[in-house]
Amino acid sequence: MILMSILPALLAGLLFQSPASAAAQDSVVVTGSYQPVPLNETDRAVTLLPITPKTVLLYNSVTDLFKLDSSLDLQQRAPNDVQGDLSIRGGTFGQTLVLLNGMRLNDSQSGHHDLDIPVPIEAIQQVEVLQGSGSNQYGSDAVGGVVNVVTRHPDGLEADLRSALGSFGTNQEALTVGAGTAKYSELLSASRDFSTGFIQDRDYRNLSLSSNTMLTDPLGPGSILLALRDSPFGANQFYGDYDSWERTKEWFAAAHQNIFDNTEVDFAYKRHTDLFVLFREDPQIYTNRHADETYEGSARRTDDLPFGAKLHYGTEIDADSIESNNLGYHQRHREAVFVDYDLRVFKRYSLSVGLRDDIYSGLRNQLSPNVSGAAWLNQHFKLRAAVSRAFRLPTYTDLYYSDPTTLGNPNLKPETAWNYEGGLDWHANSTLQGSLTVFNRHDSNIIDYLQTHPNAPFMAMNVQRIVFTGVEASAQYALAAHHRLKATYTFLHGDKAPDPGTVSRYVFNYPTHSAVASWEGDLPFGLIARTRIGALQRFQQGPYAVWDASIASTKGRFRPFLQLTNLTNTSYQDLPNIAQPGRAIVGGVNVKLGKVL
């Protein structure tokens, strides 16, 4: 029986050359699998958004990377990482799980804080995106997809100082200092971003600090990440027709340790505070203070099995609590056990079968199974398919928030979803690749805020059932050694609209059509540049397009750069009644205090 089960793989290995030689995508990703694998060997739809110390001057914030893929719907209340919601494949922002080096950033108070990423962009190596359900590996919130921000370690000695000025009173400074060897490295990063705002009461001040340490000891490699983020900002129109003001702070600490070759342990702690003032000029009328804490720990092990298979298994614990003058004091905890059987034959066939059981407060549980697989048809085409179940627990705001315009609901049920997808990856040669994915997701008890009467408040409710069907297509072409042209398109259809007379705050704001075309490459005289055009049409709304471009020098000790956003001065709103900035320009210089390449 065993021989018969592997015979097709043996024949394929004899008939075909390994596709790894034909595929140029040798970048390693960790999202969507229990061990790092080359991007071209994943059996799920995974997108890699890399950034390097050379190209970082072309981007103003980490959210600029999210705009490079049409399946990522960034609904911003304000630019430059001030506040925004990230959705994938039509899911709500709460259905997107945000990770930092594999550890959860999602906020137990409110999903609006999930993108409070505490590390500066100068400390980031890449962003990995898993499109589709990921609860089998990550637990709650991974319904529409997973975004994993991966930090970097320095290569040798480096020291950079960046300063910039621009539209709307923008004033930016950043400092990065690092040193590294094969067994030890340290990267210190600090950034400050200030703006007086493009309209009244839309000013902000972002401060981020991080320390990323890597040390290899006799047990194996380990790392410690410490980070802080402080963001006061004007929230005019963010939550209604009010001149609001808000300040969020986040403290994050994480430790990782490999124990020899097959075991690893992780621990993370996050504290997030939110000070919200409804009327900025008279804060005594209505002010909320929230503070939540989250602890997370996990232990994972991998055992080798016959015929090249691997068994991944482990346990995870998670506890969070909140203390708030509006929401009260609450706490909950979750424990999970998981197992996954992973088979890879001749780098041509792969199969993953996994199951995770999350048990949370009150001995309630959620089972998250997953089956995914892929097969190379020849050197150029790979088929893949996946079926998985996901869930999301309500936030404390969903459950307990109360003000004259918005009410939580303590009787909310957890969201659940079944995700089905199939795809075809095309590797024509080392310069041309493409992919096509068709997906179908059945959401149950999806949480939305609904208004059933013009004078009634919005109330958190479970929408019983919505089915999303979509198509994702992408193509990437390397024009030359240092030029990359990429285009992505996503179509999305939901089988349901809001009931007549009912206003939805979140669920029915998804994009039905989204397209992104981008180019990045080298220019003469040591210059690099990029440009990006994104076009989007939301459900029952008109289309709009936004064009960005930037250019920077990569030679010498003084390296000027220029970033231009919304070049066509498009008037648009990612969220209803929250205007976005028009044309803007930021320019500055990066000074290489360390080695000059």
Collect all residues with Cβ–Cβ distance below 8 Å to 481 and sequence separation of at least 6: none
pLDDT attached to residue 8? 38
Q: How far apart are CA 92 and CA 143, in angstroms?
A: 9
Least confident of 2-11, 54-63, 121-130, 268-277: 2-11
Report pLDDT digits (tens) over 225-278. Answer: 999 999 999 999 888 888 999 999 999 999 999 999 899 999 999 999 999 999
Please report the pLDDT score of residue 26 as a whole number: 59
As a whole-number percent, the residues of the chain with pLDDT over 90 amount to 80
Task: Provide the pLDDT for residue 24.
Answer: 40
Distances (CA, A) of 526 to 163, 532, 553, 556: 20, 21, 6, 9
Query: Would residue 69 count as lying in a domain?
Result: yes
369: containing domain: 2-592
Lowest mean pLDDT among 2-6, 17-21, 155-159, 275-279: 2-6
Is the Cβ–Cβ distance between 294 and 257 less than 8 Å? no
Burial track 549-588 (b if 16+ CB lie within 10 A, e otherwise): bbbbbbeeeebebbbbbbeeeeeeebbeebebbeebebbb
For residue 23, give Cα distances in angstroms to 52, 54, 450, 480: 22, 25, 48, 16
Q: How far is CA 148 from CA 28, 221, 314, 585, in A?
A: 13, 20, 20, 29
Return d(Cα 338, Cα 204) in angstroms, integer.
42
| Stretch 378-401: mean pLDDT | 96
Cα separation of the two ends of the chain: 58
Instruction: Fill in the amino acid letter for 235.
Output: A
Q: Indicate the length of the chain as a whole number.
A: 597
Look at residue 4 and tell me whether its pLDDT is greater than 50. no
Q: Could you tell me the pLDDT band of residue 405, with boundaries at 50, 70 and 90? A: confident
What the block records as the tokens of 359 is 């048990």
Closest CA to 323 of 403, 420, 226, 400: 400
For residue 121 the two structure tokens come to: 């962009």
Residue 481: its pLDDT value, please? 64
Helix (H) or strand (E) holding 269: strand 263-277
Question: Within a 10 A sphere around the Cβ of 260, how many other Cβ atoms?
Answer: 9
Residue 597 lies in a domain: no
pLDDT tens digit sequence for 147-199: 999 999 998 899 999 999 999 999 999 999 999 888 899 999 999 999 999 99
- Using CB atoms within 10 A of its CB, is residue 589 exposed (0-12), middle (13-18) or buried (19+)? middle
Asked whether residue 93 carries a pLDDT value surpassing 60, the answer given is yes
Mean pLDDT calculated for residue range 460-473: 95
Lowest mean pLDDT among 27-31, 172-176, 363-367, 471-475: 27-31
Q: CA 218 to CA 507: how far, in whole Å?
A: 50
Distance separating alpha carbons of residues 169 and 321, to the nearest angstrom: 38
Cβ count near 240 (within 10 Å): 13
Would 463 be classed as within a structural domain?
Answer: yes
pLDDT above 90 for 350: yes
Taken in order 138, 149, 203, 564, the sign of the CA dihedral is negative
Res 379 pLDDT > 50: yes
Distance between CA 578 and CA 77 in Å, rounded? Answer: 6
Dihedral Cα 73, 74, 77, 83, nearest 10 deg: 140
pLDDT band at 483 (very low <50, low <70, confident <90, very high): confident
CATH number of domain containing 237: 2.40.170.20
Confidence of residue 501 (pLDDT cuts 50, 70, 90): confident
In a domain, 504, yes or no: yes
User: Could you tell me whether strands 511-523 and 527-538 are parallel, antiparallel, or unpaired per DSSP bridges?
Assistant: antiparallel
Per-residue pLDDT at 23: 38
Closest CA to 288 of 404, 401, 449: 401
Task: Write out the DSSP string of 341-355.
Answer: EEEEETTTEEEEEEE
At 5, the pLDDT band (50, 70, 90 cuts) reads very low
Question: Between vectors from CA 355 to CA 354 and to CA 359, what angle results, nearest 5°?
Answer: 155
Parallel/antiparallel/unpaired status of strands 243-259 and 263-277:
antiparallel
CA 469, 463, 333, 151 torsion-angle sign: positive
Longest distance between any two alpha carbons in the chain, whole Å: 76
Averaged confidence pLDDT in the chain = 91
pLDDT at residue 595, as a whole number: 64
User: What pLDDT was estimated at residue 10?
Assistant: 31
Q: CA 563 to CA 51: how far, in whole Å?
A: 16
Instruction: Look at 79-83, 302-306, 521-525, 586-590 and tell me which has the smallest mean pLDDT.
Output: 79-83
Dihedral Cα 20, 22, 26, 32, nearest 10 deg: -60
Q: What is the pTM of this model?
A: 0.93
pLDDT at 30: 83
Asked if residue 253 lies in contact with residue 281, where contact means CB atoms within 8 angstroms, the answer is no
344 compared with 550, residue with greater pLDDT = 550
CA distances for 277 relative to 102, 234, 247, 446, angstroms: 33, 10, 9, 29
- Three-state secondary structure readout of 537-590: EECCCCEEEEEEEEEEECCCCEEEEEEEECCCCCCCCCECCECCCCCEEEEEEE
- Residue 81: pLDDT band with limits 50, 70, 90: confident
Q: Which residue's structure tokens are 């500055």?
A: 588
Number of domains in the chain: 1
